[in-house]
Every structure is written in structure tokens, then in C-alpha cells.
């Protein structure tokens, strides 16, 4: 796909529902009692795989236009899947669903695509085994396919070795099957959508500093759930609106959970103009509209507690930093090596190829900003966030980019190129 550079944007954009929250809405509604109605659900490949897995376990899930109706079967109502549960490319599905499967008294096998089979699973296998689940991976017990036989879950007190919302959520979901309280301690605060949604559906989860306590409960209740727009998808347009010569973009209805808004803090610190309009809270999740206008950026240092708050936005931050004045350092970001691709080496290689001054470090990257980047041929590594970050780089480059395998954007943002085409058409 060829992306030509542009100079001017005036757009109002609706971005699709949050991926993390869409997964949780399907999983929690499936094991709640009664019907849930989910609005603004993300119909991307990843959450659609979550739907397919829960349908295989006997849950009735209907897609009626913009509304997904889930008829919950209760905590113990899932049935043994006849086949392998296939999560495709979705790390959130395999890790969170393993927490629920740990509580089921039947055997299941969970697998996915080549990327999933190369991502570490010992981080969930260890705590779920401690809770009493019989769970096995292959290749030193670290990789999918996973074979899980659950039941008889015990509460645990567990210190997470990595700041991972996926691992924390797997334990919280398994804790629904324990008779006493489970306590989790995080090294750094990660996204808390699971805690918020479980409480919205009747659970009692509370946190103090970095410790989270899940009290035992009888059942969850089906609810109406409105899913805010995904700030990780909005991030591409925040950077585009900032970097383009003459830009103004209004992005409607974006999730503004403070565990996810690192991108706003960092872009503002770099000099971006981003305004929050009409802040509101829906089913326990803050949201608002974002107005971004073009401005020049300067380099900064990003690391520590900030990293989990913008973990999925590092590829697009690298694009912003490539066109900022001065040096940007991203550190403590080694988790990026085990995402859908190795996002550190992917971004460093590709941005270097199109003319940026960027080098890889052991836990991140160093970028020396320039006033322009050339453009050229780039690879997506079949990773949705790499494809989208490099598309934005193409739009603000001198010559544009030619990107291979762009269809992977369907994982989290199926209408991404539709919006990009609108932006390009409006300019000409
Ligand atoms: C997610 C958590 C993050 C993030 C992923 C989605 C989630 O992963 O990178 O895209 O929905 O919980 P980790 O928590 O493993 O860092």
C-alpha cells in the first residue's frame, strides 16, 4: 500500500471501541448471570476471536448492528469446548481466558497463530498453577498450545514479576472461583479495566498503592456496557494532527482511564496541543473528546512508571520523536520485545530505513529528532501497531511510504485505512 505525504488536515473522527475493554466485556458477560448488552464493541479480529472462543463454550452471543447481546451462563455454566480454542493473534484472549478456564472443571486446549506461539506464557502458567489449576505449555512450559484442566481454585497472595495487566487480569478472573480473598501486588501500576468492569458487574475488588484485593463472591450480574473509543487507536491521529504542517483533528469519545493516558502526558510534555472536551464517565470508565492541533515537538526522556501507561503507544511515540527537536530516550520498555512482534527492533529498523536517526538499546531506543524524514519501503512485521505507526510516518514524510502486509490493522482498527483515505481525499 502506498501512502503519500500530506500537509493539511481538518477532520472529525470517530475511532472504534477499546480493544482491552471489548475483550473484558465479552468474557465477563459470558460468566455473569443474565443478559448483557455491549455498545460500541470493537469488531476487530482480536475481540472477534474472543467471541468465537466463548461461543465454543456454549455462550449465546449475537451481533445486532452496533449492539452485542451476550446471554451469560454464570460462573460455572461454560461447557467443555469440542475443539481447540483458537485465539488467533490475541495475547489478551489467551492470557485472560486462561484465568477463566483455570476455574472450570473440564479440559481445554488453547492455541493461536505463529506470533502467539512465540509469546511467553509462563507468566500466567506459574500463578494459575499456584491457584490449583492443572495447566501445561510446551517448550519448557512457556508456550502455547496450553492444555488446561481447572477446578478447585485456591486464593493466593502473588507478587507480579512484570507489570502486566494481562497477568493481573488472569489471576483476578481465576480468583472468582476461590473461596477466600486473593491479593496481587504489581511492580508498577498497569491498566485497571478488569477491576473496574468486575466491580461494575457486582464484584468487590479494591486497591491500595500497588496491591489489589479480590474478595470472594457468589456471582456477577449482566449489565449494559458502553465501550469508549480506544486511546491506543486515537494515538495515531494525535501524532498525525501534531506533526502535519497545518492540522486540526477532533477525536470523539476516547477512553481516558488514567492507567492509559500516558500518551497524552508524553505528547504534551513534548509540546503538543491536545485539549480534552466534555469529560464524562460511563460504566466506571472516564472518557472525553480530544482536540489536537499541529505544533512543533521537542525530545524528552520516557521510562519508569510511565511505560505501562503507554506500552502500546511506543511505536507511534517513536515516530513523533523522529520529527521532534533534540534527543528522546525510551527506557524500561523491554516488554515491547514480547508483543505481537519485537516492537523495539521493528520500529528501529523501519524508521532507520526511511531516514530517521534512531538506535536500539537493551531496554528501549534513543532517537535524535530531525526536521524531516525521507520515506521509502517498509515492513509491517504483520503487527497492527507497527503498520499504523509507519503509515503515519509516511503521511508526514517527504516522499511517502510503500508498506507491505497492511491488512494486519484489522486486528485492532478495521477502518483505519478508510479514515486515512478520507484524510487524503479531503486534502486534494
Ligand atoms: C492489554 C495489556 C497490555 C497491552 C495489550 C493489552 C490488556 O499487555 O500491551 O495490548 O488488554 O490487558 P501487558 O499487560 O501484558 O503488558
Say how many Å lie between the CA of residue 255 and the centre of ligand 1. Answer: 15
Say how many Å lie between the CA of residue 166 and the centre of ligand 1. Answer: 5
Per residue, the 3-state secondary structure of 304-322, as one string, reads HHHHHHHHHHHHHHHHHHH
- pTM over the 0.95 mark: yes
Is the peptide bond prior to 113 cis by the omega test (within 30 degrees of 0)?
no
Q: Which residue has the cell 449465546?
A: 60
Q: Which residue's alpha carbon is nearest to atom 9 within ligand 1?
A: 312
Compute how many other C-beta atoms are within 10 angstroms of the C-beta atom of residue 197: 25
3-class secondary structure, 412: coil
In tens digits, what is the pLDDT along the chain, a chain of 428 residues? 999 999 999 999 999 999 999 999 999 999 999 999 999 999 999 999 999 999 999 999 999 987 999 999 999 999 999 999 999 999 999 999 999 999 999 999 999 999 999 999 999 999 999 999 999 999 988 999 999 999 999 999 999 999 999 999 999 999 999 999 999 999 999 999 999 999 999 999 999 999 999 999 999 999 999 999 999 999 999 999 999 999 999 999 999 999 999 999 999 999 999 999 999 999 999 999 999 999 999 999 999 999 999 999 999 999 999 999 999 999 999 999 999 999 999 999 999 999 999 999 999 999 999 999 999 999 999 999 999 999 999 999 999 999 999 999 999 999 999 999 998 888 86
Q: What is the pLDDT of residue 66?
A: 79
Cα–Cα distances (Å) from 132 to 104, 170, 184, 229, 247, in that order, read: 11, 14, 16, 37, 55
Q: Which residue has the cell 499504523?
A: 388
First to last CA, the chain: 19
Q: What is the pLDDT of residue 270?
A: 98
Q: Which of 204, 100, 99 is nearest to 158 (CA)?
A: 99
Contacts of 317 by beta carbon, 8 Å cutoff, 6+ apart: 239, 263, 266, 267, 302, 310, 328, 330
Residues tagged active-site: 312
Q: What is the pLDDT of residue 426?
A: 82
Q: What is the pLDDT of residue 428?
A: 67
> Which residues make beta-bridge pairs with 247?
9
**Residue 121's Cα: distance from chain center in Å?**
17
Q: Which residue's alpha carbon is nearest to atom 10 within ligand 1?
A: 312
Q: What is the pLDDT of residue 100?
A: 98
Q: Which of 7, 47, 8, 11 is nearest to 29 (CA)?
A: 47
Asked if residues 412 and 385 have their Cβ atoms less than 8 Å apart, the reply is yes
Say how many Å lie between the CA of residue 296 and the centre of ligand 1. Answer: 30
Q: Give the span between the Cα atoms of 168 and 164, in whole angstroms.
A: 6
Burial of 209 (0-12, 13-18, 19+ CB in 10 A): exposed
Q: Which residue's alpha carbon is nearest to atom 15 within ligand 1?
A: 164
Domains of the chain: 2-16+228-427 (3.65.10.10), 19-226 (3.65.10.10)
Amino acid at each position: 500500500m502506498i501512502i503519500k505525504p500530506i500537509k493539511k488536515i481538518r477532520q472529525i473522527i470517530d475511532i472504534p471501541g477499546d480493544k482491552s475493554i471489548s475483550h473484558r466485556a465479552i468474557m465477563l458477560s459470558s460468566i455473569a448471570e443474565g443478559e448483557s448488552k455491549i455498545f460500541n464493541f470493537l469488531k476487530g479480529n482480536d475481540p472477534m476471536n474472543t467471541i468465537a472462543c466463548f461461543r465454543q463454550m456454549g455462550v449465546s452471543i449475537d451481533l445486532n448492528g452496533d449492539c452485542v447481546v451476550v446471554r451469560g451462563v454464570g460462573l460455572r455454566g461454560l461447557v467443555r469446548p469440542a475443539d481447540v480454542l483458537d485465539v488467533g493473534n490475541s495475547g489478551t484472549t489467551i492470557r485472560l481466558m486462561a484465568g477463566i478456564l483455570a476455574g472450570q472443571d473440564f479440559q481445554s486446549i488453547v492455541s493461536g497463530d505463529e506470533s502467539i506461539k512465540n509469546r511467553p506464557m509462563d507468566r500466567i502458567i506459574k500463578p494459575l498453577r499456584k491457584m490449583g489449576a492443572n495447566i501445561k505449555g510446551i517448550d519448557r512450559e512457556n508456550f502455547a498450545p496450553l492444555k488446561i484442566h481447572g477446578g478447585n481454585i485456591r486464593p493466593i497472595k502473588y507478587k507480579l514479576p512484570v507489570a502486566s495487566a494481562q497477568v493481573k487480569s488472569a489471576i483476578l478472573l481465576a480468583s472468582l472461583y476461590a473461596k477466600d480473598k486473593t491479593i496481587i501486588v504489581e511492580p508498577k501500576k498497569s491498566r485497571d479495566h478488569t477491576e473496574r468492569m468486575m466491580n461494575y458487574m457486582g464484584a468487590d475488588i479494591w486497591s491500595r498503592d500497588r496491591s489489589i484485593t479480590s474478595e470472594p463472591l457468589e456471582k456477577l450480574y449482566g449489565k449494559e456496557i458502553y465501550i469508549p473509543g480506544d486511546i491506543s487507536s486515537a494515538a495515531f491521529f494525535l501524532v498525525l494532527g501534531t506533526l502535519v504542517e497545518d492540522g486540526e483533528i477532533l477525536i470523539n469519545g476516547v477512553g481516558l482511564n488514567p492507567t492509559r493516558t500516558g500518551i497524552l502526558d508524553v505528547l504534551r510534555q513534548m509540546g503538543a496541543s491536545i485539549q480534552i472536551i466534555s469529560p464524562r464517565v460511563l460504566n466506571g470508565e472516564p472518557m472525553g473528546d480530544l482536540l489536537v492541533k499541529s505544533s512543533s515537538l521537542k525530545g524528552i526522556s520516557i521510562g519508569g512508571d510511565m511505560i505501562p501507561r503507554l506500552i502500546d503507544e511506543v511505536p507511534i511515540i517513536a515516530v513523533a520523536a523522529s520529527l521532534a527537536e533534540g534527543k528522546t530516550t525510551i527506557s524500561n520498555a523491554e516488554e515491547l520485545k514480547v508483543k505481537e512482534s519485537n516492537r523495539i527492533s521493528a520500529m528501529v529498523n523501519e524508521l532507520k530505513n526511511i531516514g530517521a536517526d534512531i538506535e536500539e538499546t537493551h531496554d528501549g531506543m534513543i532517537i535524535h529528532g530531525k526536521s524531516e524524514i525521507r520515506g521509502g519501503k517498509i515492513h509491517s512485521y504483520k503487527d497492527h501497531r507497527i503498520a499504523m505507526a509507519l503509515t503515519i510516518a509516511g503521511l508526514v514524510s517527504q516522499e511517502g511510504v510503500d508498506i507491505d502486509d497492511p491488512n494486519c490493522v484489522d486486528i485492532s482498527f478495521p477502518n483505519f485505512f478508510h479514515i486515512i483515505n478520507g484524510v487524503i481525499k479531503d486534502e486534494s
